[in-house]
Amino acid sequence: MAVSRRMFARNALLAPAVLALSATTRFEDVAHAESSEMPDTPRFQRRMIGEIEVIALMDGMIERPKEMISGYDEAKAAAAARLAHKPHDPAAIRIGINGYAIRTADRLIVVDTGSPSGLAPTLGGWHASLAAAGIAADQVDTVFLTHLHPDHVGGMTDPKSGTARLPKAEVIASEADWRFTFDDAIYASMPKAVQQGLDISRAMVTPYTASKTLVVPGAEIAPGLTTVAMPGHTPGHMGLRIDSGRESVLIWGDLLIVPAYQFANPDWGFALDTDKAAAAKTRAKVLDMSAADGMMVAGMHLDFPGFGYVERAGQGYGFVAAPWDYRV
Ligand SMILES: [Zn+2]
């Protein structure tokens, strides 16, 4: 479903945009930031999905206050954190940021690229994690973007020089999100904080303009790799389903941002959700499907490495981390 410009503008204005995960930093700050702490602690984890290797790449972690969560209730949050064995600190909720690399017989595809290091000192480790996993930046042939928020496109371009950091990669992104990000009328209607986020997104993807392929959900981007519609967080937000042999994983992007609370309370939204009602509807549908199918999932804001299973728990859901894969 297309999200109207007016609808987006209203939601964006209602959201506490100044607190947004990716919109508190000006592009100039990102461009001038010194390298973050994260590159000293690169982290990756491999596993196999049939014949396809999937590698989780840690970008880092950021802390955000409960004011960014819509529907928040203190007693429910405390109970959810207790059930999930997570820390509960409403003033500084930990949100991890992951990317994934996919190695097939003849392709090397990355799914999102983490944050620019200037967003926070604890972010920006994606490239170091990629290198630690033994992948050179120029081996990446495709970047698949679940959406274009700054914490997903940050590794694509050197903010100082404006040159592509994945020089051989073509970009596959949602047609709706690309159009949205580069629409000057939408940009002009946005609060300053959102414009700052859009500035970062534009700068990170612009060097790839000539090599991009824009798709609609449902497209197969490589054998066994199918995009899945998950609208709401952004108009064109997509997941990527990987099927090989008898195994599957659904990388669901930003289906949920705060796993400590949102599995138990899937109706709670996040400040950056473009259309909160659509995001909640998508979340309900995908969580229900994942639990019913027993399918492995992964996500950009699930605690690293993010591979696991959704289970029904009370009125909501719980998350069980996947066991170590001894095949790798
Ligand atoms: Zn995100």
Give 194 Cα–ligand 1 centroid separation in angstroms.
14
The string over 164-203, giving b where at least 16 C-beta atoms fall within 10 Å of a residue's C-beta and e elsewhere, is bbbeebbbbbbebbbebbbeeebeebbeebbbbbbbbbeb
Strands 170-174 and 93-103: unpaired
CB-count burial class (<10 Å; 0-12, 13-18, 19+) for 249: buried
CB within 5 A of ion ligand 1: which residues? 151, 254
Distance 152 CA to ligand 1 centre (A): 6
Q: Nearest CA to 247 among 52, 94, 86, 89?
A: 52
How many A from CA of 283 to the centre of ligand 1?
Answer: 15
Phi-psi domain of 114 (left: phi exceeds 0; alpha: psi -120 through 50; beta: other): left
Q: What are phi and psi of 212, to 5 degrees?
A: -95, 150
Calculate the CA 245 to chain-centre distance: 26
**Strand, coil or helix: 269:** strand
Among candidate residues 255, 267, 272, 270, the one with its CA nearest the CA of residue 310: 255
Q: Residue 273 Cα, ligand 1 centroid: separation in angstroms?
A: 10
Quote the ligand 1 centre to 255 CA distance (angstroms). Answer: 9
pLDDT score of 29:
67
* Ligand 1 mean position, distance from CA 254 (Å): 5
6 - beta bridge partners? none
- Full pLDDT tens readout for the chain, 328 residues: 333 444 343 333 333 333 344 445 666 666 556 555 554 566 999 999 999 999 999 999 999 999 999 999 999 999 999 999 999 999 999 999 999 999 999 999 999 999 987 888 889 999 999 999 999 999 999 999 999 999 999 999 999 999 999 999 999 999 999 999 999 999 999 999 899 999 999 999 999 999 999 999 999 999 999 999 999 999 999 999 999 999 999 999 999 999 999 999 999 999 989 999 999 999 999 999 999 999 999 999 999 999 999 999 999 999 999 999 999 9
Apex CA 36: angle with CA 182 and CA 198, to 5°?
Answer: 10
Q: Is the peptide bond before 305 cis (omega within 30 degrees of 0)?
A: yes
Q: What is the pLDDT of residue 120?
A: 84
- DSSP designation for 230: -
CA-nearest of 291, 316, 315, 298 to 112 is 298
| CA 21 – ligand 1 centroid, Å | 8
Contact 165, 117 (CB under 8 A): no
Tally of CB atoms within 10 A around 54: 26
Residue 20 confidence (pLDDT): 43
CA 220 to centroid of ligand 1, rounded, Å: 23
Q: What residue ranges define each of the domains in the chain, with the CATH number in brackets?
A: 5-321 (3.60.15.10)
Contact call for residues 115 and 97 (beta carbons, < 8 A): yes
Asked if 37 and 122 count as a contact pair (C-beta separation under 8 A), the reply is: yes
Q: Is the pTM of this model over 0.75?
A: yes
Q: How far is the CA of 69 from the centre of ligand 1 (A)?
A: 14
State whether residue 221 is helix, strand or coil. strand
